[in-house]
Amino acid sequence: MEERVYRFIQEHALLCLGDDVTVALSGGADSVALLWVMRRLAPRLELTVRAAHFHHGIRGEEADRDADFCRSLCRDWNIPFALGRGDAPARAAQRGESLEEAARVLRYTFLRSAAPGKLATAHNGDDNVETILLHLLRGTGLRGLAGIPLTGEKLLRPLLCCTRGEIDALLEREKLPHVEDSTNGKDDCLRNRLRHRVMPLLREENPSLVRTVGRTSALLREEDAYLSRLAEKAALDCEAGEGLSSRALLELDPVLRRRVLMGSLRKLGLENPAMVYVEGLESLLRAGPSARMLLPGGLSARREYDRLLFGPLQEFPPLPDLSINVPGRTVLPDGLGQLVCFVTKSSNFSQKKPTTFALKCDMIRLHKFRVRSRLPGDKLCLPGGAKQLKALMIDRKLPAQMRAAIPVLTLDGGLIAVFGIGADPSFVASENEEAPVIRYEGPLFSNP
């Protein structure tokens, strides 16, 4: 495996002689294997190897154990070690992010600050296949089908050429210690369900699944890079003052137009914007001169005659009262996203996300679901009791400009849930109960 990683690094120029490399060390099998390989390759590539571990403030004593293990391992291997700490639950509550997103942002912010040079993460070939499957299930374009990129901002991923089986074999052969994250064995998130249920079936059909998908994703990355270069030239041709010409954008081939719009979103600092925002911008190009839409990160887009302009968030008008399609999707106006409704067992998704609600079938006549903006005097019952919706929005630090756009879920005219805040517990389905699930997708509560 050491030689495979060395050839992969050389083939893709991931490292240069004398580089300073910090390994993102979780203590799990993959990151321990990566640290071992980097340590073995250090003399050949004249590397300075370090390690950094981030404690997210979740998982209690198990997380403390992981931090202690990483510190001890680096001491035994004589590797400089940095430990960072954060409070992911607090960030998630303050910013309306999922716990996973909050943890990821905090982790990478620390890891990049702790790495004087390059930062190596332990994503492997199996992770790449799982990521592509996730993108397919959620809807994606060429870049999503290309899987996990080899490099990023200071980042490199040397283990993408390796399977999880090869990593496990290395740990057993070299008797390398590691720790196990107990949450990896649970099926309460989609990636774990794909890993435990879908990947074994795919391997039965193709034992070389990881290599096959890896070759395909490499080809798609090359094609994506080529199209991106074409889109950069097209974007220059569409510039109109501080914005983009709507007319010039509409004259582009749809493939290039989507890429120009995606590139504009990335220039705004949206690292991986969802396709729903691009679709919203395309609608904006064909709308009236005063049309606008909300974007993540406190931003908005608007039409000003022929120009498409981006800027700080402006106050949005109230949502109209809309009937919800059950099952199906309900598109919200002004680029505010959509509500997706389906029926499943409530254990198949996270009950902790304030953007997804599973509701009791026996208490709900499905055809009466509606969504609207907040109204004066609205109250929401939560586990701690009823509270004014205005006060809850202030508690959650939701910007005043967007409060009128926050979807309020009603049943027969009564308020039962507010996206980004929570649901009345008397309407929430029990564990393993068949339940209608309503999920918000859009720019209001998620970072790109």
Per the domain annotation, does 251 fall within a domain? yes
CA dihedral over 96, 135, 178, 10, signed as positive or negative: negative
Helix axes 29-45, 164-174, angle to 10 degrees: 80
Q: Which residues pair with 294 in a beta bridge?
A: 300
Among 100-114, 302-316, 318-332, the minimum mean pLDDT is found in 302-316
pTM score > 0.85 for this model?
no
- Is 45 in the same domain as 142? yes
Q: Residue 118 maps to which CATH number? A: 3.40.50.620
- Is 65 in the same domain as 113? yes
How high is the pLDDT of residue 362? 62
Per the domain annotation, does 236 fall within a domain? no
pLDDT tens-digit profile of 49-76? 999 999 998 888 889 999 999 999 999 9
Among 153, 188, 223, the domain boundary falls at 188
- Is 264 in the same domain as 290? yes
CA distances for 388 relative to 179, 311, 380, angstroms:
45, 31, 7
- Is 262 in the same domain as 363? no
Per the domain annotation, does 281 fall within a domain? yes
Among 188, 219, 254, the domain boundary falls at 188
- Is 43 in the same domain as 94? yes
**More confidently predicted of 332 and 315:** 332
Per the domain annotation, does 427 fall within a domain? yes
Q: What is the mean pLDDT of the chain?
A: 87
Per the domain annotation, does 222 fall within a domain? no
pLDDT tens-digit profile of 210-239? 999 999 999 999 999 999 999 999 999 999
Among 312, 344, 370, the domain boundary falls at 312
pLDDT tens-digit profile of 392-433? 888 887 777 778 889 999 988 889 999 989 898 888 887 777
- Is 288 in the same domain as 146? no
- Is 92 in the same domain as 23? yes
- Is 9 in the same domain as 153? yes
| CA 202 from centroid of its chain's CA atoms | 24
Burial of residue 246, with CB atoms counted within 10 A of its CB: 0-12 exposed, 13-18 middle, 19 or more buried: buried
- Compute the distance between CA of residue 59 and CA of residue 38 in angstroms, rounded to an integer: 28
Domain that holds residue 296: 241-312
- Is 19 in the same domain as 116? yes
- Is 304 in the same domain as 327? no
Judge whether residue 447 has pLDDT over 50. Answer: no
Judge whether residue 96 has pLDDT over 70. Answer: no
Split into its structural domains, the chain has a count of 3
Q: Residue 371 maps to which CATH number? A: 3.50.40.10
- Is 40 in the same domain as 108? yes
How high is the pLDDT of residue 360? 79
Per the domain annotation, does 179 fall within a domain? yes
pLDDT tens-digit profile of 244-294? 999 999 999 999 999 999 999 888 877 667 777 888 899 888 876 667 787
How high is the pLDDT of residue 401? 74
- Is 116 in the same domain as 36? yes
Per the domain annotation, does 420 fall within a domain? yes
Among 83-97, 240-254, 358-372, the minimum mean pLDDT is found in 358-372
Following CA atoms 53, 54, 57, 63 in sequence, which dihedral angle do they give, to the nearest 10 degrees? -20
